[in-house]
Chains A and B, each alone.
Chain A
């Protein structure tokens, strides 16, 4: 099976990207300056990412709210027009099938789901479709993420009025004649925006945004280091069918009304951990001595297995290696010294609170 190309494929090539296969797509892992430079440019100024590989799925109709509530622990009814929520597709044992964003715009529920889970998620939604729900998978739309402290200035220079538009809001905006739907959200821990537009305007929009001196093109490599520092989970690493969202630090994604009703998939297992605490919890990990630890390394204390590394690499903003992993709840207190074991080689690591780099969202 061949890989798919986003509407920005030629744009990436023209800008010197190194393309790699990712979740069935040909995606830029980095441009010429490299992952560290793109990461730091995003933290210091603004980075522009093509995230068109993620699936944009819209649900409308009288049954859309109820259908989505049957699959997630989110109080979908409480998502006001113009607002965005982080949500989870759950299985009956309380594991996570995927994480997603849900927004309400013009009365339609607009979902963005992970590229690697898009086929699964769309099948999952389709299996639960009721006669009063219409589902559209918008393969005709592109998605760009403009992230970093100067992102609002970049949009303002293009005539976008951001007054009254804060973190986790969604709205319609026109940029140089291009109709866009913008959410103030992202996957870097920084202030920023995800901008959806018709696929046939994607190159025009990317060219405009990249033309601002404050903007650096950034690939999936930097996207991963940024989200790791920000402590944001990646499905397949910090989240999967066996991981309870309480363990992954996602209590905030379990809406109060839904918890009280305990009427979501896996509610029994999840509420048990909600009330009693999960046996293992997600934590940051700082490897000592300069050598990174990687996904899959075992975490030990006095030779006993006490956890697992789920993401690991280098954290450019810390100028040091960093990792995420699950550790026995009794040991997650920041500063706990553990060993990460990879093929018999031991690297000392110290637990650290998440996020490793503070979030800088702009809230209303």
Chain B
């Protein structure tokens, strides 16, 4: 189940664990990505916590956790080649996996159609 936040994160829930990334639109808006900071596996986070940072040439952007839970895995391989983070690859470029403590949090989030409508 794929859901989006208003801050352009996506979460793809499989069972009780979701992988999290940022949308093609967000990657396009960032432009050249020059630095990424990922969270640490094992951390417990609340929905809306700042959990990662994307730095582009011009600005830093916080990435917020779309759900509450425990971070179980972090995609360190992503850091090997930041130029591979492109709009087309957005849904392959997961940042971390989170064991969601309250799947109900996703009910209020946007599905693909609603998100596409939001970004116009």
A221 interfacial contact with B, CB 8 Å = yes
Binding site for A on B (CB under 8 A): 31-32, 34-35, 37, 55-60
Cross-chain contact B32 with A321 (CB below 8 angstroms): no
A225-B57, A313-B57, A313-B58 given; A290·B31 CB < 8 A: no
- By a CB distance below 8 angstroms, the chain A residues around B34 are 290, 292, 314, 321
Cross-chain contact B32 with A36 (CB below 8 angstroms): yes
Residue in A35, A224, A291, A294 whose CB lies within 8 Å of B32: A35
Count chain B CB atoms within 10 A of each CB in A29, A291, A294 and give the residue with the most.
Answer: A291
Residue in A221, A290, A291, A321 whose CB lies within 8 Å of B58: A221
- By a CB distance below 8 angstroms, the chain A residues around B56 are 314
A34 interfacial contact with B, CB 8 Å = yes
Q: Complex: how many Å from CA A21 to CA B55? A: 21
Cross-chain contact A35 with B57 (CB below 8 angstroms): yes
- By a CB distance below 8 angstroms, the chain B residues around A290 are 34-35
Q: Complex: how many Å from CA A294 to CA B60? A: 8
Cross-chain contact B37 with A314 (CB below 8 angstroms): no
Dominant SS among interface residues on chain B: strand
Closest CB-CB distance, A234 to chain B, in whole Å?
Answer: 13
Cross-chain contact A291 with B37 (CB below 8 angstroms): yes
Binding site for B on A (CB under 8 A): 29-30, 34-36, 221, 224-225, 290-292, 294, 313-314, 316, 321
Cross-chain contact A34 with B32 (CB below 8 angstroms): yes
Cross-chain contact B57 with A291 (CB below 8 angstroms): no
- By a CB distance below 8 angstroms, the chain B residues around A225 are 57
Closest CB-CB distance, A6 to chain B, in whole Å?
Answer: 21
Q: Complex: how many Å from CA A325 to CA B10? A: 37
- By a CB distance below 8 angstroms, the chain B residues around A291 are 35, 37, 55
Closest chain B residue, CB of each to CB of A342: B60
Contact sample, A vs B, 27 pairs, CB 8 Å cutoff: A29-B58, A30-B31, A34-B31, A34-B32, A35-B32, A35-B58, A36-B57, A221-B31, A221-B57, A221-B58, A225-B57, A290-B34, A290-B35, A291-B35, A291-B37, A291-B55, A292-B34, A292-B35, A292-B55, A292-B60, A313-B57, A313-B58, A314-B32, A314-B34, A314-B56, A316-B57, A321-B35
Q: Complex: how many Å from CA A225 to CA B57? A: 8
Q: Complex: how many Å from CA A36 to CA B32? A: 7
Closest chain B residue, CB of each to CB of A320: B34
- By a CB distance below 8 angstroms, the chain A residues around B32 are 34-36, 314
Residue in A35, A224, A292, A294 whose CB lies within 8 Å of B31: A35
Closest chain A residue, CB of each to CB of B28: A18
Count chain A CB atoms within 10 A of each CB in B32, B35, B60 and give the residue with the most.
Answer: B32
- By a CB distance below 8 angstroms, the chain B residues around A34 are 31-32
Closest chain A residue, CB of each to CB of B60: A294
20 extra interface residue pairs, beta carbon distance < 8 Å, beyond A34-B32, A290-B35: A29-B58, A30-B31, A35-B31, A35-B57, A36-B32, A221-B31, A221-B57, A290-B34, A291-B35, A291-B37, A291-B55, A292-B34, A292-B35, A292-B55, A294-B59, A313-B57, A313-B58, A314-B32, A314-B34, A321-B35
Closest CB-CB distance, A330 to chain B, in whole Å?
Answer: 30
Closest 8 CB pairs of A and B: A314-B34, A36-B32, A314-B57, A35-B57, A291-B35, A34-B32, A290-B35, A292-B55
Closest chain B residue, CB of each to CB of A29: B58
- By a CB distance below 8 angstroms, the chain B residues around A316 are 57
Q: Complex: how many Å from CA A340 to CA B59? A: 16
Q: Complex: how many Å from CA A292 to CA B58? A: 9
Q: Complex: how many Å from CA A290 to CA B54? A: 12
Q: Complex: how many Å from CA A313 to CA B31? A: 13
- By a CB distance below 8 angstroms, the chain B residues around A36 are 32, 57
Q: Complex: how many Å from CA A313 to CA B59? A: 7
